[in-house]
Chain A
Amino acid sequence: MYWEAINECMPRDEREQLQLERLQATLFRVYMNVPFYRKTFDTLGIDPDAFRSLDDLRKLPFTTKEDLRASYPYGMFAVPLREVVRIQASSGTTGAPTVVGYTRNDLKHWSNLVARILTAAGVTQNDIVQIAFDYGLFTGAFGFHYGAERIGASVIPISSGNTRRQLKIMQDFRTSALLCTPSYALALAEAIQESGTSVSSLSLKYGLFGAEPWSEAMRSELQDKLKIIATDNYGLSEVMGPGVAGECLERNGLHINEDHFFVEVINPETLEPVAPGETGELVITTLTREAFPVIRFRTRDLTRLLPEPCVCGRTLTRMTKVMGRTDDMIKLRGITVFPSQIEAVLCATEGVEPHFQIEIDRKGALDEMTLLVEVSDSLFSDEIKDLQGFMDRIRRDLESEVGFPVEVKPVEKKSLERFDGKARRVIDRRKK
């Protein structure tokens, strides 16, 4: 099922022509309307008229999160405020918020693009969609809300939190699609188990999870526990919000809405494009945004592109699940570690929940990594010796995964900090 077959299945050469046209127009508009870009282009001697191929994009500078913050609140807007009908702000996971604006056309495109993601993930007008993202400045909830309304599904705008109420509504309203972060979905799954409710008494069919990286192991766990088809989707408020990319039912990579977003993958250290198919940082240029166009925005998200065609028929290039953020990329003893690797090990271990926190410290000349992990109550009440043996097993599995010894400390359930359903994974205490 497609939402806009003509755009989702467009032959690649036609899409490249469209991307070029939209990119050229975007460059002209940002040069005319956004002082930041005009100044940057002029300083670097960049003539937007000289832009003749998609490869020419490499000659343009990146836009960073810091650039957006420096223009707080409205400095990057490309239209006067009277044309802006919506203001959202980034969730501020990694610092001060950035403010983004939407024109009427921007909201229309947003709805349509999210409608594509929902359709690809199996949701139709017959579904009852529970949106357990936080309604507010964060873009997640509103984006999905518009998209779900656009396809004609029944939307429950419950927002995040109040797990007991979520469950009651899920049961009473016969929710068939759950939209939230994967970690909140896990919390809901646990609550269902605790309450003694049988999952088969629920009407859940689909789970669309995003806003934080999650592993394949986590997917299996959520699919098992909730008896759903769980798909990943991707977006970020700096370029729009949800609707940038999403998985189809093949669940083998996220189709990028390339007619609205041009993507590149770069090496975050050299800033050069990686070889096709290699992992690196995702860089996005908006092609249709009116109020808030960005050129070569560094997302800090790590992924790689899958250029092979997908059996679903969409010609939109896929990206793999986001493996982590460049900020979360832990460099320890010369080895790069992602929290997603830790999550995968924990998911494969019975008796622990993949709620964890990584602490990094330097003892003498050596970096040490400590993993705090929530274990189920039963383990704590058992003999201390059992717990020790259990921790040793995790320690061994982790060491073989990351390649160096990791200290593992069990903590009680729900003792690790969470905010907005998003887990804070890494605490780095090393002096930089």
Chain B
Amino acid sequence: MLKLKNVDIFYGKIHAIKRVSLHVDEGKIVALIGANGAGKSTLLKTISGLHRPEQGAISFGDSDITRMAPEDIVRCGISQVPERAHVFKPMSVEDNLLLGAYHRSSRSAQTSIRHDIDRVYDTFPVLRERKKQLAGTLSGGEQQMLAIGRALMAKPKMLLLDEPSMGLAPIIAREILTMIAHLRQQLGLTVLLVEQNARSALRIADSGYVLETGRILVQGTADDLLANRDVQRAYLGRDAE
């Protein structure tokens, strides 16, 4: 569904991503793991059009999205949930969700938007309880749910999730990841998940890639990666030396 071929990305003068090739099949959860600064977020931002690759090709379904504008990429069906949620804190929960549907806010779309908000509330009941509350007053986990809910409002085929468990208590982080796995099942979503918390990410993923100094070090099924020595050494906190 999503395919990257030989993508090079510069971050200023730094060659952040070096000829990375990867793919995500429809309906799969793929984890992209790697240390801080390995280039994971840069890669996600490039897929959603916020960065331009220097070289290489990115395709989604039959469309070449390499040089597409971010809003057109959203229309193609890719929604990104940014790092640390980035909800609009002075706005209500419901207004945050409405913002997620900004690109289809024609009058005729109103009923379907209403329906989608209800569906998000069904998925995250806590958001319904707090729909009038300002987003800034939500807990970290709830803000993350709101950010995911907002991304779902764009009716995406694919979600790009940037460190959804960052800064959350372990039990909450686990809850969020479990929800992501449920979303895939319920909505048939395809997910590319960036995580530093490699073990939890691989627990819900089908397959994964390990990014090291801007390159893919290893590609494999989630089970393979959990048993891989390089992954254990660097990201699972096992001292292998």
Please report A residues at the B interface, Cβ cutoff 8 Å: 14, 17-18, 20-22, 24-25, 28-29, 32, 49-53, 79-80, 82-83, 103-105, 108, 288, 290
Choose, from B15-23, B136-144, B189-197, the stretch at the interface. B15-23
B229 partner, pick from A17, A52, A290, beta carbons under 8 A? A290
Give bound CA distance, A290 to B217, whole Å. Answer: 11
- Interface contact B218-A25, CB-CB below 8 Å: yes
Residues of chain A contacted by B6 (CB below 8 angstroms): 52-53
Q: List 28 A-B contacts (CB under 8 A).
A: A17-B3, A17-B5, A17-B23, A20-B5, A21-B216, A21-B219, A22-B219, A24-B19, A24-B215, A25-B216, A25-B218, A25-B219, A28-B215, A29-B218, A29-B230, A50-B19, A51-B19, A52-B6, A52-B19, A53-B6, A80-B240, A80-B241, A82-B240, A103-B229, A105-B227, A108-B224, A108-B227, A288-B220
- Give, as a whole number of angstroms, the nearest-CB distance from A323 to chain B: 34
Chain B 218-240 interface 0/1 with A at a Cβ cutoff of 8 Å (1 = within): 11100010011110000000001
Give bound CA distance, A51 to B228, whole Å. Answer: 24
Residue of B nearest to A49 (CB): B18
Chain B 132-154 interface 0/1 with A at a Cβ cutoff of 8 Å (1 = within): 00000000000000000000000
Question: SS class of chain A's interface: helix, strand, loop or mixed?
Answer: helix
Residues of chain A contacted by B5 (CB below 8 angstroms): 17, 20
Give bound CA distance, A83 to B231, whole Å. Answer: 12
CB contacts under 8 Å to A, within B114-129, are none
- Give, as a whole number of angstroms, the nearest-CB distance from A106 to chain B: 10
Give bound CA distance, A349 to B21, whole Å. Answer: 56
- Interface contact B21-A49, CB-CB below 8 Å: no
Give bound CA distance, A342 to B229, whole Å. Answer: 49
- Give, as a whole number of angstroms, the nearest-CB distance from B238 to chain A: 11
- Give, as a whole number of angstroms, the nearest-CB distance from A70 to chain B: 25
Residue of A nearest to B25 (CB): A14
Q: How many B residues touch the partner, as a band?
A: 20 to 34
Question: SS class of chain B's interface: helix, strand, loop or mixed?
Answer: strand
Give bound CA distance, A41 to B6, whole Å. Answer: 20
Residues of chain B contacted by A53 (CB below 8 angstroms): 6
Residues of chain A contacted by B22 (CB below 8 angstroms): 21
Give bound CA distance, A21 to B23, whole Å. Answer: 9
Give bound CA distance, A105 to B209, whole Å. Answer: 16
The 3 closest A-B pairs by CB, nearest first: A83-B229, A21-B21, A52-B6
Give bound CA distance, A105 to B228, whole Å. Answer: 7
- Interface contact B217-A25, CB-CB below 8 Å: yes
Taking A17-B5, A21-B21, A105-B227 as contacts, is the C-beta distance between A28 and B217 under 8 angstroms?
Answer: yes
Residues of chain A contacted by B220 (CB below 8 angstroms): 105, 288
- Interface contact B228-A18, CB-CB below 8 Å: no
Highest count of chain B CB atoms <10 Å: which of A24, A51, A83, A104: A24
Residue of B nearest to A27 (CB): B215
- Interface contact A24-B21, CB-CB below 8 Å: yes
CB contacts under 8 Å to A, within B7-41, are 18-19, 21-23
Residues of chain A contacted by B228 (CB below 8 angstroms): 105, 290
Residue of B nearest to A83 (CB): B229
Taking A25-B218, A25-B219, A28-B216 as contacts, is the C-beta distance between A104 and B227 under 8 angstroms?
Answer: yes
Residue of A nearest to B210 (CB): A25
Residues of chain A contacted by B229 (CB below 8 angstroms): 79-80, 83, 103, 290
Give bound CA distance, A52 to B3, whole Å. Answer: 15
- Give, as a whole number of angstroms, the nearest-CB distance from A210 to chain B: 26
Residue of B nearest to A26 (CB): B218
Give bound CA distance, A290 to B216, whole Å. Answer: 14
Residues of chain A contacted by B209 (CB below 8 angstroms): 21
Give bound CA distance, A28 to B217, whole Å. Answer: 6
Taking A20-B5, A83-B240 as contacts, is the C-beta distance between A49 and B219 under 8 angstroms?
Answer: no
- Give, as a whole number of angstroms, the nearest-CB distance from A5 to chain B: 14
- Give, as a whole number of angstroms, the nearest-CB distance from A260 to chain B: 11
Give bound CA distance, A51 to B220, whole Å. Answer: 20
- Interface contact A49-B19, CB-CB below 8 Å: yes
- Give, as a whole number of angstroms, the nearest-CB distance from A96 to chain B: 29
Residues of chain A contacted by B23 (CB below 8 angstroms): 14, 17-18, 21
Residues of chain A contacted by B216 (CB below 8 angstroms): 21, 24-25, 28
Residues of chain A contacted by B217 (CB below 8 angstroms): 25, 28-29, 32
Give bound CA distance, A419 to B53, whole Å. Answer: 59
Give bound CA distance, A415 to B117, whole Å. Answer: 85
- Give, as a whole number of angstroms, the nearest-CB distance from B76 to chain A: 19
Give bound CA distance, A21 to B219, whole Å. Answer: 7
Residues of chain B contacted by A105 (CB below 8 angstroms): 220, 224, 227-228
- Give, as a whole number of angstroms, the nearest-CB distance from B229 to chain A: 5
Residue of B nearest to A53 (CB): B6
Residues of chain A contacted by B18 (CB below 8 angstroms): 49
Residues of chain A contacted by B19 (CB below 8 angstroms): 24, 49-52
Give bound CA distance, A52 to B224, whole Å. Answer: 25
Give bound CA distance, A22 to B23, whole Å. Answer: 11
Give bound CA distance, A20 to B219, whole Å. Answer: 11
Residue of B nearest to A288 (CB): B220
Give bound CA distance, A79 to B18, whole Å. Answer: 23
Residues of chain B contacted by A104 (CB below 8 angstroms): 227
Give bound CA distance, A51 to B224, whole Å. Answer: 24
Give bound CA distance, A104 to B232, whole Å. Answer: 13
Residues of chain B contacted by A108 (CB below 8 angstroms): 224, 227
Residue of A nearest to B3 (CB): A17
- Interface contact A49-B240, CB-CB below 8 Å: no
Give bound CA distance, A22 to B216, whole Å. Answer: 9
Residues of chain B contacted by A80 (CB below 8 angstroms): 229, 240-241
Residue of B nearest to A6 (CB): B25
